[in-house]
Amino acid sequence: MSEFKIIDLRQEDLDILQEMIIEFAKYEDMLDFLQCTKEKLEHSLLKNKFARAFLLKENEKTIGYMIYFYTFSSFWG
């Protein structure tokens, strides 16, 4: 039986996250536009927390990711 977990992104997960982002860019035929590096992911997601990232694991294997960020509009409050 499969066991699913959603975990916060950790330093040791940056390689797999970057690999998954590259695979997504290939799938979308947008690899030429990809500028994301492991260093940028670390800076944005772990050090400065401009966005949050989670990984989906099935039986300890990473099978997906989610990245989200908040925005604030001074016009809306």
> What was the pLDDT predicted at 17?
98
> What was the pLDDT predicted at 59?
96
Banded pLDDT at 77 (limits 50, 70, 90):
confident
CA of 2: how far to CAs of 6, 11, 13, 60, in Å? 13, 25, 21, 10
Question: Using one digit for the tens of pLDDT, what is the confidence trace for 4-58?
Answer: 999 999 999 999 999 999 999 999 999 999 999 999 999 999 999 999 999 999 9
Name residue, tokens 């590096």: 37
pTM of the model: 0.86
Structural domains in the chain, CATH included, are: 4-68 (3.40.630.30)
> What was the pLDDT predicted at 54?
99
